Structure 1
Amino acid sequence: MCEQAFEVVSIKRTDDGHWCVAGRAYLDVNLGDALETSSTGGAKVKVVGIVTYGRGTDLLSGMMTGELILEGEIHEPLNALYAPQ
């Protein structure tokens, strides 16, 4: 079982083939982190960008809102991203 790291509010595909996922972090999310799309160990995605308050950053702290730029396969609908244990 994985712990919820990020609640997804919206998701869209970017022009360069990445995913832009907006929502709220429940755990700290760092640039380069590998997250899973299911609490039972779904597909893995890699955080390749983080934007909060209109600025890029290396860390989205728990309870902050922002957008994660993800690399990997996502099958919509997606409600959350999970940190592997």
Structure 2
Amino acid sequence: MELSACQHGRSEVWGLIEALDLREQVLADYERVLGTDHPDTLTARSNLALAHKAAAAVQQPDTAPLPTVPGPQPPSDTSEQPA
């Protein structure tokens, strides 16, 4: 049986809701175990924010901005160049 576009969209939204719930649980656990300033906790917080942004883009594709991934950054310290 093939899913209709509406059923597929509903399934996608429920998947996003479940993913957001899991990311929120991970963040809460990291904060409790590692502390709020630990690098892994900060990464989990960032991942949750990106997941919320992606969910908003799916729910409102015409108005929500797409999440962007930063490209490679040049080295910040150029003083250590070979002579």
- Asked whether the two chains share a fold, i.e. TM above 0.5, the reply is no
More helix by share: 2
Where relative contact order (Cα < 8 A, 6+ residues apart) is larger, the structure is 1
More strand by share: 1
Sort the TM-score into its range (normalised by shorter chain): under 0.3
Q: What is the TM-score normalised by the length of structure 1?
A: 0.21
